Amino acid sequence: MPFSCPRIGGNLPQVVLRQARCVEFTSDHVARFMSSFSQSRSPRVYSPKNRSHVLKIASPSNFSTSPSQPLMEDPEKLSLSSLDDEAGGKKYSGELDVAVRAVQIACWICQKVQDTLVFKTNDGDGSGSNDKQVHSKDDNSPVTIADWSVQATISWLLSESFGTSNVSIVAEEDVHALSKADGAGLLKAVVETVNEALSEAPRFGLTRPRESLGPKEVLEAIGRCNSAGRLNRKFWALDPVDGTLGFVRGDQYAVALSLIEDGKVVLGVLGCPNYPMKKEWLSYHHRYHRIIAKLTPPASESWDRGCILYARDGSGEAWMQPLLHKNKSLEWPNAAVPVRVSSIDNPALATFCEPVEKANSSHSFTAGLAHSVGLRKQPLRVYSMVKYAAIARGDAEIFMKFARAGYKEKIWDHAAGVVIVQEAGGVVTDARGRPLDFSKGIYLEGLDRGIIACSGARLHERIMKAVDASWNSSCL
């Protein structure tokens, strides 16, 4: 029988099987565990509904009857995922739980920063830029304090939950701009944003730092997300703000976090803070959303804008939950509902998405494809991986992207969206019908011409045939 402890708020198995060896919890084990738990400087409540800080049983070699030998590894930095696996539970459930909560906090950061960018710019309409918060990278793409703040926050939360040595992350941003002599003010703003976000962590069911992070700790958290060199066989891929141009303009953007193991995306979380709950609103100009938001602020119980989509590979399920309202605490599963792709397979009724930016995609080629396949609706041009969310939620049926010559797709721009669409019942491949390969580093190497995501196999097959028929005449 399992033992029950009100302090923990749940049950821990009395017997754990590992490699055909059986380890029993004795009264001495329990006493030493309770002693170490009660001495924690940052106690937390553990329960089956709150898996973000549940404990991971150490290997059998760590168990002994010696009082000097701790029963558990550091409870501050471990998850239930391995215990779940051994007990026949759902693999990666612990990682998914922490990832969803971390992305919830990331969306909270983005909303606060975007409000500053959009409503406090010099011209007041959101079309300008805020010199203190928006900067240009070497490729002239924009980056904001939200990008760095989200990356630092998620990096710290994952390391705190699973242990720094157990976490490998690749992400889009680096510390170059923040480390320069003239970047002191920018770094200060990022540090303040990160600490404000982490102070809210308990509200999301995660731990907060015992002390505020300093510039060194924030730079280390960002720097741990190293996109250079050979990747580990298991790593997290993060795009802290996908669609930064949309973010700066007050339009659509996403926070994308995925876990990749042996080249396969095993879980994905997609935060879409501006995604409207009504499909029709996706095609409205972003200024309309801001006007409506100011005229009719949502009640605390409403769910009019913003959501988190997530899925675990092989589960056959994808889920959506609302963003957490101010002053509310996240109680799992946070009103989550399943999402499923559309059943529409008639091209004349289908809606297709494509990127807003023309720099890395060909609108003319997709327009020709749409005509040849029989698509009649105007394309839905949306920033970021929100396009994948639209497919998974059934708001659109097709996403096509065919990059111009020389452009290479990065894994963090697709990983989370791909697994969510697939588990929601959709199909995602390159133009030859092959699965996207996430095993070759930070780029999707070997990608055949482009990416096609569809709600079903029938539409997907028709688009692939149209690509084959028209590709040689294209200029891509």
Q: How far is residue 280's CA from residue 39's CA, in Å, rounded to a whole number? A: 54
CA atoms within 13 A on the CB side of 111: 21
Contact 335, 322 (CB under 8 A): yes
Tell me, what amino acid is at 463?
A: I
Maximum pairwise Cα distance, the chain = 75
| Active site (catalytic) residues | 147, 244
Contact 236, 169 (CB under 8 A): yes
Q: How many C-beta neighbours within 10 Å does residue 351 have?
A: 23
As given in the structure block, the two tokens for residue 138 are 């070497």
Q: Which residue has the tokens 């200060």?
A: 188
The b-or-e profile of 300-315 (16+ CB within 10 A means b, else e) is eeebbbbbbbbbbbeb
Helices (H), 342-470: 363-373, 386-393, 415-423, 457-470
Please report, in angstroms and rounded to a whole number, the separation of the first and last CA atoms in the chain: 65
Q: How far is residue 157's CA from residue 155's CA, in Å, rounded to a whole number? A: 6
DSSP, collapsed to helix, strand or coil, labels residue 113 as: helix
DSSP-assigned states of every residue in 9-61: TEEE-SEEEETTEEEEPPHHHHHHHHHHHHT-SS----BTTBGGG---PPPGG
Q: How far is residue 470's CA from residue 451's CA, in Å, rounded to a whole number? A: 15
Helices (H), 277-376: 286-295, 363-373
Q: How far is residue 377's CA from residue 352's CA, in Å, rounded to a whole number? A: 8
